[in-house]
Amino acid sequence: MTIIERAQDAVPHLYALSAAHGWHQQLTSKGMTEWEKRAVSRLSRRLDGLFADAGSEAVRRLLDTGRYGDVQSQRKILKALEQRTGALQRSLFAQAQESAQHGRNRIISELQKAGMSVQFDSFSPRISEMLREHVFEGAGSTMRRLRGDVMGTLQQAYEEGLGIDEAAEYVKGQFDTLRDFEAKRIARTEINARQGEGAHLTEIELGVNWHKWVAADDQRTRDTHREQHNMIVRVDTPFPITGMKYPGDFDNALDEGEAINCRCRVIPFLPPPGKRFPPGQDGPFYEEDLIDRS
């Protein structure tokens, strides 16, 4: 019997505790937590250094090659990025482990506040390996996308008939964009997504049956995410509007853009005292859909 199943007999007590601790209302504050701000800043700096080194080498390769309009020379230039795929994977995985554990701790903390006997611990080696595979696969996809962006810059410079020095400035500008905008976006997206994945895996492990989507409460929140606010679904079931099983879920999002920079949360849900889910239905629900226990 899971910890949640054992809790069903004590639902009135648990719900009173969860309400007192804001179980169903927390994590709606604007912006990022202090931990998230520090984590994003730290990872952004790592990525900034990685892209700075790659940009300097790409420009040097372009100038040494003396041409850039053919596929062979472009491949030589783009090796500056390709050779740093491993460094990107290692940087992202180091932060992913911490972020996933942070998401796990958040779920455990909420369950403890609700009076459940569950202890803080780490992920199993099997889950850690699965997380590593997800991160490495995502890093490879990110590097291919960045490679395509730089390739597009080279092609545009060639079509405009630019000389080597001017093309080098184009490439430098592309890498400056990677250092400024892209590094921060990757950092925010990775940290939020791995927190969501860590929370999701923890809910499954502990037998949490239902959870509720809590949208970030500011004007930057997407309309589709706001529409899902307070929606309740079974754990490991997609939220229907975005397709995601948890915030930052790239694998199931109906559109990749739904997962990028997602700052929403999911929190465990138990029906309040005297209420239950409508029989014969599997959701999604809102709290107002619950019916009285007969």
Structure tokens at 1: 């019997």
The C-alpha R_g of the chain, in whole angstroms, comes to 23
Structure tokens at 237: 């079931």
- Assess whether pLDDT exceeds 90 at residue 7: no
What residues does each domain of the chain span? 3-292
Q: According to the model, what pLDDT value does residue 28 have?
A: 34
Torsion of CA 257, 261, 263, 267, to 10 degrees: 60
pLDDT (tens digit, 9 = 90+) per residue, 10-32?
Answer: 333 333 333 333 333 333 334 67
What values do phi and psi take at 39, rounded to 5?
A: -65, -45
pTM, 2 dp: 0.83
- Assess whether pLDDT exceeds 90 at residue 168: yes
For residues 268 and 283, give the distance between their C-alpha atoms in angstroms, rounded to a whole number.
15
Q: According to the model, what pLDDT value does residue 180 have?
A: 87
Residue for token digits 């300097």? 56
Q: According to the model, what pLDDT value does residue 22 have?
A: 38
Torsion of CA 152, 154, 159, 160, to 10 degrees: 120
pLDDT (tens digit, 9 = 90+) per residue, 246-257?
Answer: 999 999 999 999
Q: Residue 93 CB: number of other CB atoms within 10 A?
A: 20
